[in-house]
Structure 1
Amino acid sequence: MAFDNLFNPIKIRGMELKNRVVFPAMGTKMPGDNKYVTKQLIDYHVARALGGNGLNFTEVCGVHGPSTPKGFLGIYDDKYIPGLKKLTDAIHAAGGKSGVQLWQGGMAVASFQKEGIILSSDTPITGTDSIIPGASIELIKEIVEAFGTAAKRAVQAGFDCIEFHAGHNYLPHSFLSSAFNKRTDEYGGSLENRARFLLECIKSIRNNIPEDMPLFMRIVAQDDCLENGLTIEETIEFCKLAKKAGVDVLDVSRGNFSSSAIKYEVPPVDLPRSFNVSNAHRIKKETGMITIAVGRINDPTQAEEIVENGKADMVVIGRGQLADPEFCNKALSGNVDDIVRCVGCNQGCFDGYVSPEVPYITCLRNPALGREAEYTLVKTDSPKKVLIAGGGVAGLEAAIILKHRGHNPILCETSTSLGGQFVIAGAAPRKEELKESAIAMGEMAKREGIEIKLSTPVTPEVIKKVNPHEVIVAIGSEPIKPNIPGINLSHVTNSHDILAGNTAASGNVVVIGGGLVGLEVAEYLAEKANSITVVEMLPQVAKDLGNLRKICVMESMYKSNVNAITNAKCVEIKEDSVVVEKNGDLEEVPCNSVIIAIGAKSRNCDDIKAYCEENKIPYYIIGDALRARRALNATAEAAEVARKI
């Protein structure tokens, strides 16, 4: 289909955008400790601009030196202007437009440093007798001025527009929301008073930029999970005031990091697509302002419908363009089936961002994220025949990259279909998109003309017949079968067989294992079983889930009345019960069905290794076949191997 509305130009003051797609501010960890723009960050933005995106926003850019942590972009000093200018020049050369998101982090700064934490009002530190004092009038004036001077630098750096971040519990939001703002002076109390600081910041920005330069503002539609928080009616009234002060465009987000509502900031697959669009639509109607919709928009048809039906004027496609920087070009040219879709797993983006072990964000669907220059596909001078054992996401990733580079991959899969455990995982509640993406990946491999052999396990005989130059082993993992008395009883099965539909469970069900798979099986069976009990050895369930997916899964577990016994070990399975050891005591949990979900182990590939070594065929073992882990690791290893062959 054509996406005439999505790719229709829009003019805002003196800035004209070629389409309605916005690549939003997202934390990357790519700026260095000194808060400068890096080549890595430039390459990251240029890839999306070349991919057809309309407007690129920087990640949050600190306007105030003492409260801008390391690893964030800075714009509080003239020394940052040259680097920011390199970024805007590069985006412009790639055919895009650039915006800077001006930011003061408030309480968020506490996650990165002990000093420079600025709050709207006195706030007790949990677990101590200490209080962080609210900002003084002098400090408020200092921050207002900092927004203005930062805006002036943004103009010098060549940005086409500015976004004022007034959401997500950062300092401006903490003034606006009575959930945080307990002041009794002119900056607290009524909505008019709570809006005062934000309006002063907006005017300070507006006074330091040209008349024809657009000013965007990121807001939350409402405060979720906060007592006495912002209502959407208050947000609308504030936006009307902001319009008079000089704001042109509303970027309507949702969420805060002070509660479980953080799940709305980087929404995982558990939240429905377009979940926040209705809020953007209402705000657009009641303010009359240009409005951007945000919230799991990862499909061009979905985006087109939003713009076409007037629900918003523009759309944010953030993680959708992390997964595929060519998202816009593919949609515009009609190659929709070739778009690599974000599946909302959060493994590489949010989980990677909050993990101190991960240097910068990445993506399960796009291992080249953050390595755009290094991972540019280079055609081979010496095409090779490469045998790939396994048609899951790791094997498919390797096959597609090899084909693009000019090699001849031959993919063999033991089962009758492609996609592997991603398809099985897609049977779990709210994870249909994983299954769809795995199936789509298989279809893409077929369109690329990759030779695929189903129902063909790779054996020494197969390797001999194919006679490849190199071999990639991506045969995945299989469920661990623990050595527990009663494990072979007829009412005992495993998580993979349940999700694959090979076996069933009913009545009173006990799930052994409280990790991701165990909990998903529990959810999957919640409406089919009389009761479900999860037995976990660790002090808590869901330890292997990312933060945001964990919030959603645990909420669902609570609603489904799934019982969990932690710090407990299954020591025996009987015909009608499971014997559990907890705190040195034994107890029996009555049950009709038992499901083992304690993890997976790599499938044995010793025969493949032995044949390759004996015949001097280079081979690589990737993904779960190397060690059972997250899908993120599987596609990353596939991408690395396929680029070096």
Structure 2
Amino acid sequence: VGAGPGGMQAALSADRRGHRVTLYEQEKKVGGNMRRAAIPSFKQEVQRLFDYYKHKIMDSSVEVQLGTFANINLLEGGDYQVIVVAVGGHTAMPCIDGLETVDAMEAPKILERGTVSGENIAIIGGGLVGCEVGWYLRQQGKSVLVIDKVSKEQLMPKEHPTNKAVLLSRLQKAGVELLTETNVCQINGGQLKLGLANGSDETRSVDQVVIATGFAPRRHLWERLHNSHLDQTAEIFRVGDCRRPGRFFEAINEGALVGNN
């Protein structure tokens, strides 16, 4: 359940071993966040990885059901012996006073949508996704502010130092403003009250707030399965971000391990 990198790899590995595999995806395209991550023009390696999996799935015997929400009722009617939950994660929304007063967008969805309304954009979260979306929007001529509570040295701790340096250099050259050691204390409509590193406060006016504060596992289906009779009739596994948010290759390795065993 879920056609991101982990789900596709699990399906392909099981298919190669001769199992009858159905792959459910509630979106109308495969790829999940890997597809979205490949959109910025400098992400050619991710694009090649996505293209590889898309074509491998198309050339396999896996039955792909796109635009299908695999709920408990559907799975109970399928007589499945093994269920692999690979539904990914969701944006971990920060606890900010007044966040509900704005129509904040989740960063990955911007890549899918292509742009945002307004010219002055504030991105809360300076991790890999936040910085890439900041660069992407700056290429469209938007004025972009990326805010994170950690220091510049602590940004993107899981990234290779060279990759991190290249991305930060891209942001600087593009004119993206990066505010580190800064807290978003309050949001009131288009007004952001910031707590700066020097202890002072500052208010910024923005047209759009973007949330890029990381991912949390989607646990709902996993929990529902274990509270249903399927827990007794099928082996149930989970891979990728719905187990523990991580990198694409971690999800792929987990999918291969489940599919091959």
Extract unaligned runs of 5+ from structure 2: none
Which amino acid counterpart does residue 522 of structure 1 have in structure 2?
G
State the 1:501 CA deviation: 0.8
1:596-620 alpha-carbon deviations (Å, 9 max, x no partner): 1001111132223322554332111
SS of match in other structure, 1:466: coil
Tell me if 1:582 matches 2:196: yes
State the 1:634 CA deviation: 0.4
Matches of 2:112 and 2:122 in 1, distance apart?
18
SS of match in other structure, 1:440: helix
Q: What is aligned with 1:453?
A: 65
Q: What is aligned with 1:548?
A: 162
- 563, 567, 577: which is aligned to 2:181? 567
Matches of 2:189 and 2:101 in 1, distance apart?
7
Q: Measured at CA, do residues 456 and 585 of structure 1 come closer, stay the same or move farther in structure 2, by a change above 3 Å?
A: same
4+ residue segments displaced more than 6 Å: none
Q: Measured at CA, do residues 459 and 443 of structure 1 come closer, stay the same or move farther in structure 2, by a change above 3 Å?
A: same
Aligned 1:562-641 pairs, distance under 5 A:
562-583=176-197, 584-603=199-218, 604-605=220-221, 606-611=223-228, 614-641=231-258
Q: What is aligned with 1:334?
A: none
Q: What is aligned with 1:496?
A: 108
State the 1:442 CA deviation: 2.4
Question: Greater relative contact order (Cα 8 A, min sep 6): structure 1 or 2?
Answer: 2
Q: What is aligned with 1:312?
A: none
More displaced stretch, 634-643 vs 585-594: 585-594
SS of match in other structure, 2:22: strand
Matches of 1:571 and 1:612 in 2, distance apart?
46
Tell me if 1:440 matches 2:52: yes
State the 1:562 CA deviation: 1.3
- Amino-acid identity (%): 24
Matches of 1:610 and 1:638 in 2, distance apart?
23
State the 1:402 CA deviation: 0.8
Matches of 1:529 and 1:550 in 2, distance apart?
23
Q: Measured at CA, do residues 482 and 502 of structure 1 come closer, stay the same or move farther in structure 2, by a change above 3 Å?
A: farther
Q: What is aligned with 1:422?
A: 34
Alignment check: 8 A CA contact 1:458 1:608 kept: no
Which amino acid counterpart does residue 478 of structure 1 have in structure 2?
H
Which amino acid counterpart does residue 437 of structure 1 have in structure 2?
L
Matches of 2:4 and 2:101 in 1, distance apart?
31
Which amino acid counterpart does residue 577 of structure 1 have in structure 2?
Q
SS of match in other structure, 1:619: strand
Matches of 1:617 and 1:567 in 2, distance apart?
48
Which amino acid counterpart does residue 474 of structure 1 have in structure 2?
A
Matches of 1:461 and 1:435 in 2, distance apart?
35
Matches of 1:593 and 1:626 in 2, distance apart?
31
Matches of 2:167 and 2:117 in 1, distance apart?
21
Q: What is aligned with 1:486?
A: 98
Which amino acid counterpart does residue 555 of structure 1 have in structure 2?
S
Q: Measured at CA, do residues 503 and 461 of structure 1 come closer, stay the same or move farther in structure 2, by a change above 3 Å?
A: farther
State the 1:529 CA deviation: 4.0
State the 1:450 CA deviation: 0.9
1:370-428 alpha-carbon deviations (Å, 9 max, x no partner): xxxxxxxxxxxxxxxxxxx0111111111111111111111111111111110010112
1:310-332 alpha-carbon deviations (Å, 9 max, x no partner): xxxxxxxxxxxxxxxxxxxxxxx
Alignment check: 8 A CA contact 1:581 1:587 kept: yes
Matches of 1:600 and 1:426 in 2, distance apart?
18
State the 1:462 CA deviation: 1.2
Matches of 2:62 and 2:225 in 1, distance apart?
22
Alignment check: 8 A CA contact 1:506 1:528 kept: no
Matches of 1:506 and 1:477 in 2, distance apart?
28
Matches of 1:406 and 1:612 in 2, distance apart?
26
Alignment check: 8 A CA contact 2:121 2:208 kept: yes
Q: What is aligned with 1:19?
A: none
SS of match in other structure, 2:186: strand
State the 1:433 CA deviation: 4.2
Matches of 2:141 and 2:124 in 1, distance apart?
16
State the 1:576 CA deviation: 2.7
Matches of 2:62 and 2:171 in 1, distance apart?
42
- 504, 510, 521: which is aligned to 2:133? 521
Structure with greater proportional helix content: 2
Which amino acid counterpart does residue 487 of structure 1 have in structure 2?
L
SS of match in other structure, 2:121: strand
Matches of 2:184 and 2:69 in 1, distance apart?
35
Alignment check: 8 A CA contact 2:192 2:203 kept: yes
Matches of 2:116 and 2:166 in 1, distance apart?
25
State the 1:443 CA deviation: 2.5
Alignment check: 8 A CA contact 2:81 2:233 kept: no
Q: Measured at CA, do residues 527 and 629 of structure 1 come closer, stay the same or move farther in structure 2, by a change above 3 Å?
A: same
State the 1:498 CA deviation: 0.8
Q: Measured at CA, do residues 482 and 571 of structure 1 come closer, stay the same or move farther in structure 2, by a change above 3 Å?
A: same
Alignment check: 8 A CA contact 1:612 1:619 kept: no
Aligned 1:340-489 pairs, distance under 5 A:
389-489=1-101
State the 1:486 CA deviation: 2.8
State the 1:476 CA deviation: 0.5
Matches of 2:126 and 2:78 in 1, distance apart?
43
1:521-574 alpha-carbon deviations (Å, 9 max, x no partner): 110011324421111111123333222211221111111111111111112122
Aligned 1:94-109 pairs, distance under 5 A:
none
State the 1:491 CA deviation: 4.6
Alignment check: 8 A CA contact 1:578 1:589 kept: yes
1:588-639 alpha-carbon deviations (Å, 9 max, x no partner): 1222211110011111322233225543321111110101111121011111
Matches of 1:408 and 1:455 in 2, distance apart?
20
Alignment check: 8 A CA contact 2:102 2:209 kept: no
TM-score if structure 1 supplies the norm length?
0.38
